[in-house]
Amino acid sequence: MWFRNLQIFCLTDSWDYSNEALTEKLARGVFQGCGATDRVARGWVPPRGENGELVFSMQRQQMIALGVEQKLLPSSVVRQYAQAKLAEVEAAQGYKPGRKQAREISDQIELELLPRAFAKRSLTYVWIDPVNHWLVVDAASSGRADEVIEHLKLVLGEVPLTLLKTQLAPATAMTQWLAAGAAPGSFSIDRDCELCAAVEERAAVRYVRHNLDSDDVRAHIAAGKTATRLGLTWNDRISFVLTEQLQVKRLAFLDLLKEDAERQAENADDLFAADFSLMAGELAQLLTHLTEALGGEGE
């Protein structure tokens, strides 16, 4: 349940959903699974498991989860069966099927194969912090986060949030930190980064597990390259990679945090609650400090 990637949104003051109100809204779009001829199905599921509530809440923090089921039917398999069918039709009618007929046959083959296709399920967790006005999607891509937000809109109508923007662009800030050899406040620079040129080809240099306080890194910056990804550690407790799009990736919590949660738990439900409580508390502080390091929220 510990988040690995953060797509960060800011809630406005108009977010006032109690657990009961949010549960009632999400129930309108509860996960149903794929029908026989559906390629994909989406819906809200209990974050803590089948017997839990649609909204898990603790200490005024909320968690919800979007379930996605997708049929695995490769286009190459559809093409193989469609070609065999097209050959039968051509032999029967004495001439090659036209483009429209071929497309109809291919569509029909797909409908016949979908009920037999394997289904893959995935969960995307969402942490909602009404106290500090954060809504965070645990997703590696903005596309997956957009999918979650769009599904929220289906059940809530308008969703009172915006993408986090800061006064200082992440690329500018990360470049300055690398040039100075230090990050501000409770942040320290790790050993991973990516530097890109501003020219059309976007020539890039990547450092992995490398000392970044070096002359060659500064030389690339002096030549006009800017940092597009930078490994950071916050407060010696959480390490992550910050991107130029203000996304947090490869989030890793200190093992001591997880051990604290395990000591507090007597069963699986207790462990989930302890994990969520610790994670929400740490991430709320991390996001506040990160926003401050980037000059505060922008317009």
Please report the pLDDT score of residue 68 as a whole number: 92
pLDDT > 90 fraction of the chain, expressed in percent and rounded? 61
Task: Give the mean pLDDT of the chain.
Answer: 89
Q: What is the dihedral of CA 157, 158, 160, 161, to 10 degrees?
A: 110
Residue 254, pLDDT > 90, answer no
Same domain (yes/no): 98, 139:
no
Residue 172, pLDDT > 90, answer yes
The residue-averaged pLDDT of 25-51 equals 88
105 lies in some domain: yes
Same domain (yes/no): 245, 276:
yes
Same domain (yes/no): 16, 81:
no
pLDDT tens readout for residues 45-68: 999 987 789 999 998 999 999 999
211 lies in some domain: yes
Residue 33, pLDDT > 90, answer no
DSSP string, 92-112: HHSS---HHHHHHHHHHHHHH
Position with higher pLDDT, 236 vs 118: 236
Please report the pLDDT score of residue 89 as a whole number: 80
Same domain (yes/no): 141, 48:
yes
pTM, to two decimals = 0.85
The token pair at 11 is: 């809630």
Same domain (yes/no): 15, 127:
yes
Query: Which one of 163, 188, 219 terminates a domain?
Result: 163
Same domain (yes/no): 40, 142:
yes
By the 10 Å C-beta count (0-12 exposed, 13-18 middle, 19+ buried), 28 is classed as exposed
Please report the pLDDT score of residue 206 as a whole number: 94
The confidence band for 261, taking pLDDT boundaries of 50, 70 and 90, is low
Same domain (yes/no): 240, 146:
no
Residue 200, pLDDT > 70, answer no
298 lies in some domain: no
Residue 15, pLDDT > 90, answer no
- What's the chain's length in residues? 299
1 lies in some domain: no
Number of domains in the chain: 3
Identify the domain containing residue 98 by its residue range. Answer: 75-115
The token pair at 46 is: 């209990």
Same domain (yes/no): 63, 127:
yes
Residues near 193 by beta carbon (within 8 Å), at least 6 away in sequence = 174, 178, 206, 207, 212, 217, 227, 229, 230, 231
The token pair at 255 is: 């093992």
DSSP string, 117-183: SEEEEEEEEEEEETTTTEEEE--SSHHHHHHHHHHHHHHHSS--EEE--BSS-HHHHHHHHHHHT--
Query: Which one of 102, 128, 163 terminates a domain?
Result: 163
176 lies in some domain: yes
Residue 255, pLDDT > 90, answer no
Q: How far apart are CA 9 and CA 135, in angstroms?
A: 5
The residue-averaged pLDDT of 264-288 equals 88
pLDDT tens readout for residues 132-163: 999 999 999 999 999 999 999 999 988 889 99
238 lies in some domain: yes
299 lies in some domain: no
